[in-house]
Amino acid sequence: MKRAITVVLLLTMHAMAGDVTGKWSGAFKVDGADHDVPQLFIFKQDGNKLSGSGGPDQSEQYPIEDGRVDGDRVRFQITTGEWKFTYSLKAVDAKLAGDLELKSVDNRRTAKVNLSRAQ
Amino acid sequence: MVILGLTGSIMEFEPELDRLLHPELSYITPEGRVLPLSEIGDAASRRFSGEPVVAYLPSLSPNLSSQVVLPSGIAYVNQHTGEVLGMRTRGQTFLGYVRELHVRLAGGNFGRNIVKLSGIAMLFSLASGLYLWWPIKQVTIRGKWGTKRLWFDLHNAVGIFSLLPLAILAATGTIIGFENQVGPLIYKLTRSSPIHITRSTPPEPAPGAAAMTPDEAVAIARTHMPGAIPYRVQMPKYGGLYVVALLNPRERVAGDGNVVALDPYSGHVVSLSRSSDLSRGDRIFGGKRSNSYRKYFGNAEPDRSLASKHNGIRSSV
């Protein structure tokens, strides 16, 4: 029984995102668009709460809103102007990958995001 | 073709239709002076739980309200009284769906490719029609009602008179669709090259330094573009700089052609782009280098300059 519980705990820990604090870089591509958009995030994790900033590069950063880390799931939003970006990412092999929803006042688009730790 | 024509015609009147669908948010009675942006932003922020202002979209007409972009949506404010008229949350609307249909038949990459190829198909169809019409050069309708001849004459007459506008429509649509491929050719034909706008990173502010107000940022921006009217002011919390986009009524190039980015503390200009400085190739593509919409979604998207030529022609057909 103890062995089973240990195995479950180990598997659960493996599946968790761990602390995502730090710099993450990558890109997203909007479905139907013709190019990748660069991304750079500076995450600060405090328990389940995620804050920090993100944007296309170091010089253009937007505050992270409603950020949460639950197990291996990382969710947060960014407002870049008329567009609201909602990220739903999953930690997989030291990478964050998942979906992005972009919403403006009259449009909704989706994209795929891939991030990895930046040096 | 029918879908593209219908959706394009609706898109031509998108701002008017949008206001028609939201009259209570859009129209105001002009009275008195126009309030400073900071007061307009404060009014919106107070109404919506103290949310920070992301950007201002000042009104370009006295009887239309100003908009204040907040994280939870777009607030509409009477810029003469400070009355908050309401908020629109973000999401898909009918007009957004119409645009999706026009650009990609609401079908992602597959739909976009069909739309792109339909432009070429239309050009081919027009060229073959002209080839067949040329030997007979018929523009009059002689056939009697109910005969095949009537339809043949109608096809010839309507076809030749609509050839030019349809060809321009198809050509501009094809250029928009294949901009990545056609772009280098356009720059070569216009003997120009894309203008690259560089943006320097401002120095760290001194401890305790206070940021300028949006009204001060607009005043500085206007000194660099006399006569231009601000239509968008991005707050420095979102992106690090004040970014003021202006419309020059004397110029036809829209999009983000006139943009001044300012250090929010010193007021120094970090980057400046004027539509008058755009190269001939850039003008055709509507100053795309600085357009945020294209930054996210790429070239094959509806945009102001080329798209407005495309739309203007379409609406006159």
What are the pLDDT digits (tens) for B127-167? 999 999 999 888 888 888 888 899 999 999 999 999 999 99
- For chain A, say whether B263 makes contact (Cβ under 8 Å): no
Q: Do A79 and B238 touch (CB under 8 A)?
A: yes
pLDDT at B257: 76
CB-based contact, A37 to chain B, within 8 Å = yes
pLDDT confidence of residue B72? 93
pLDDT of residue B92: 86
Instruction: Place A98 in a pLDDT band, splitting at 50, 70 and 90.
Output: very high
Residue B71 burial (CB count, 10 A): 18
What pLDDT, on a 0 to 100 scale, did the predictor assign at position B311? 41
DSSP E strand boundaries for B17-176: 55-57, 66-70, 73-77, 84-88
Q: What is the pLDDT of residue A41?
A: 96
Q: Quote the CA–CA distance of B98 and B120 in Å, as a whole number.
A: 22
Q: Which pLDDT score is estimated for A13?
A: 47
How far is CA B253 from each of CA B4, B74, B81, rounded to the nearest angstrom? 24, 26, 32
Q: pLDDT at residue A17 above 80?
A: no
Q: Which residue of A has its CA nearest to B202?
A: A59
pLDDT of residue B174: 87
A85, A107, A110: best to mutate for the B interface, most B CBs within 10 A: A107
- Evaluate whether B235 touches B71 at the Cβ level (below 8 Å): no
Q: Give the pLDDT of residue B36.
A: 96
What pLDDT, on the 0 to 100 scale, is given for residue B58? 96
In this structure, which CATH number among 2.40.128.120, 3.40.50.12780, 3.90.550.10, 2.60.40.420 belongs to the domain A2-117?
2.40.128.120
Q: Answer for the pair A85, A101: CB distance below 8 angstroms, yes or no.
A: yes
Of A61, A81, A108, the CB nearest to B234: A81
Q: What pLDDT, in 10s, does the model give residues A106-116?
A: 888 899 999 99
Q: A104–B88: do the CB atoms touch at under 8 Å?
A: no
Subunit contact B295:A77, Cβ cutoff 8 A: no
ipTM over 0.85: no
Q: What is the pLDDT of residue B159?
A: 92
Contact B238 A106 (CB under 8 A): no
Residue in chain B lying closest to A101 (CA): B91
> B21: which DSSP letter?
H
A48 touches chain B (CB under 8 A): no
Parse chain A into domains and list their residue ranges: 2-117
B74 vs A: CB within 8 A: yes
Q: B13, B6 in Cβ contact below 8 A?
A: no
Phi and psi at residue B190, to the nearest 5°:
-90, 0
Tokens at residue B206, please? 């001194």
Other beta carbons less than 10 A from residue A104's beta carbon: 18
Q: Is B193 an 8 Å CB contact of chain A?
A: no
Residues in chain B with CB shorter than 8 Å from the CB of A80 are 238-239, 292
Longest Cα–Cα distance of chain B, Å, equals: 87
Q: Mean pLDDT for chain B? A: 84
The confidence score (pLDDT) of residue B1 equals 78
Write b or e for each residue in B203-216: b if 16 or more Cβ atoms lie within 10 A of its Cβ, otherwise e.
eeeeeeeebbebbb
- Count how many residues are written for chain A: 119
Q: Assess whether pLDDT exceeds 60 at residue A5.
A: no
**A62-84 residue pLDDT tens:** 999 999 999 999 999 999 888 99
Q: Do A33 and B95 touch (CB under 8 A)?
A: no
Given this model, what pLDDT does residue B256 score? 59
Residue among B91, B112, B299 minimizing CB distance to A32: B112
User: What DSSP string describes B177-189?
Assistant: HTHHHHHHHHHHH
Bridge partners, B245 (sequence order): B232, B259
Among A33, A60, A84, select the one facing B297 at the smallest CB separation. A33
Residue pLDDT, tens place only, A21-54? 999 999 998 887 778 899 999 999 999 999 999 9
In chain A, positions 8-27, which contact chain B (CB-CB < 8 Å)? none
Stretches where chain B sits below pLDDT 70 are: 195-202, 251-256, 285-317
Name all contacts of B280-283 with Cβ < 8 Å and 24+ positions apart: B280/B190, B280/B191, B280/B192, B281/B183, B281/B186, B281/B187, B281/B190, B281/B192, B281/B193, B281/B194, B282/B192, B282/B194, B282/B195, B283/B253
Q: CA–CA separation, A11 vs B4, rounded Å?
A: 53
- Give domain limits for chain B: 2-88, 108-178+300-317, 214-299
Q: Which fold has domain B214-299?
A: Nuclear Transport Factor 2; Chain: A, (3.10.450)
